[in-house]
Amino acid sequence: MSTPLTLDFVTETMKLYGTVEQARSNRIRIATMPDRVRDAIKASHELLGCDRLLTISTADKGKTFELIYHLTGPHHIIISLAIELPRDKPETQTTSDILPPAGIYERQIHDLFGIVFLGHPDLKKIILNEDWPENEYPLRKDWMPGPETFYGGLMRERK
């Protein structure tokens, strides 16, 4: 598929997954639900011709966490699939079996935000120190380093 995708074509194909809008001249954003995101990714592979995952971006919006999967393909248009997860129970299905690079991104997001990816083969710590306390997720908006999470070096140990 080397012709650029049009907004109408994408709206037609993806309308049962969520609302479609044109975010930028070469980016189309689809807001979908966590339980439909895997099917949406498969649909974008087959019907829209997207063959690579760019990244999974996250943001803390207060009451929810937002996860956005950015996909692109030979047509040079970026399809962004956005889902929102409730703050008190941030869980979603993993996509690392259909998108192999997602394995690493999901581990990093789990470390920094605490979002649990069900079905991930190996959700271990990847980016924080091994002694980092459990349930401290630094990139959440309400997290501040306190005396228990801020340690290291001799001077502090002496105190």
Partner 1 sequence: MAEVIIPIGPHHPALKEPVNFKVIADGEKIVRLELDLSYTHRGIEKAAEKRDFIRVLPLLERVCGICSHSHSSAFAKGIEETMQLEIPPRAQYIRTIIAELERMHSHLLWLGVAAHEIGFNTLFMWTWRDREAVQDTLEEMSGNRVHYGMNEVGGVRRDLTLEQVNAALLRLPHLEDRIKKYVDMVNNQKTLLVRFRGVGKLSKEEALKYGAVGPTARASGVDYDVRSDDPYFVYADIPWEVVTDTSGDVYGRTCVRIGELQESIKIVRYCLENLPEGPVRVTAPKAAPPGEILSRYEAPRGELVHFIRTNGTDKVERVDIRTPTLANWTSVAMCLVNQNLADIPVIVAAIDPCLSCTSRITILNIKDRSAGVITMDELRRRSCTRCYGQEQE
Partner 2 sequence: MAVPLTISQRLVNWARVKSPWITLYNSGGCNACTIEIIACLMPRFDVERFGVLTKGSPRHADILIVTGLVTLKQASRLRRVWEQIPEPKYVIAPGACGASGGAFRGLYHVVDRVESVIPVDVYVAGCPPRPDEIINAVVTCLNLLKEDVAHGGKEWRQNKAVETHESDKKTGEVAP
List interacting residues with partner 2 (CB under 8 A). Answer: 128-132, 138, 145, 149-156
Q: Which residue(s) pair with 127 in the sheet?
A: none
- Given partner 2, partner 1, none, residue 34, with its beta carbon under 5 to 8 Å by kind, binds none
Residue 104 in 3-state DSSP? helix
Residue 55 is encoded by which pair of tokens?
């990244």
Distance CA 154, CA 127 (A): 23
For residues 35 and 61, which CB has a smaller minimum distance to partner 1 in the complex?
Answer: 61
- Given partner 2, partner 1, none, residue 59, with its beta carbon under 5 to 8 Å by kind, binds partner 1
Cβ atoms < 10 Å from Cβ of 136: 14
Quick check: 108 and 127 in contact, CB under 8 A? yes
- Given partner 2, partner 1, none, residue 105, with its beta carbon under 5 to 8 Å by kind, binds partner 1
**CB of 16 vs partner 1, minimal distance in Å:** 24
Phi, psi of 158 (to 5 degrees): -65, -40
**CB of 127 vs partner 2, minimal distance in Å:** 9
Which residue in 11, 36, 47, 60 binds partner 1 (CB under 8 A)? Answer: 60
**CB of 131 vs partner 2, minimal distance in Å:** 8
Quick check: 133 and 149 in contact, CB under 8 A? yes
x/- mask, partner 1, residues 19-38, rule CB under 8 A, reads ----xx-xx-----------
Q: Which of residues 104-133 bind partner 1 (CB under 8 A)?
A: 104-105, 108, 122, 125-130
Q: Which amino acid is at 57?
A: S
Q: Residue 67: exposed, middle, or buried by beta-carbon count in 10 A (0-12, 13-18, 19+)?
A: buried
**Count of residues engaged in binding partner 1, rule: CB under 8 A:** 34
